[in-house]
Amino acid sequence: MIWVFAALFAVLCFFAWTIIHELSHVAAAKLGPGVEWWKIKPYPHKNEYLGFVWASCRYRFSNTPTAKQEGWINFAPRLPDFLAAVLFPLGALMPWPFALFWCIFFGAGLIDMFTGSLGISKKSDLQRMITNMRESGWITHAWAFRMLYWVTILISVGVLLLIIL
């Protein structure tokens, strides 16, 4: 029976992390150039600009953002993902049923980090972040961020396994 609840909780965590992801964009936009209005769609749909997406947010800036501000807006969802990577291994220190749900919730953050690191589309967060950072003077490549995300995930899972074993 616990596995049924865990499966339902995993679906709930998917939507929770899509909301966290999209709200991170909005929060960074509010801190940067400012936002007049915003709207989040935390479910799979077809976006007129991006095509098929798992979730999206739209907002209207109060002021025109600089390339650096747009880079930070696109990077913002990685901050809660890094927090999830730090908190995920702590699930091994908790009592059994709570540990399962803890690891599912923060594991969803690791999945968000992994899927965000793919950045396959030219319109993905990662690709837009790299483009904006290049325009603001950073010389970097998307693979540097991909490797950072993947190593972070591997370290998080490795620490969990070390604690368990």
Structural domain count, the chain: 1
> Each residue of 117-146: pLDDT tens digit?
666 667 777 788 888 777 777 767 778 888
| Segments forming the whole domain that contains residue 107 | 2-164
pLDDT, position 33: 93
Q: Write down the pTM of the prediction.
A: 0.84
Rounded CA-CA distance 133/25 in Å is 16
Q: Flag whether pLDDT at 58 surpasses 70.
A: yes
What is the dihedral sign for C-alpha 126, 132, 134, 137? negative
Token pair for 79: 């901050």
Rounded CA-CA distance 63/13 in Å is 34
Q: Burial letters for 18-45: b for 16+ Cβ neighbours within 10 Å, e otherwise?
A: bebbbbbbbbbbeebbebeebebebeee
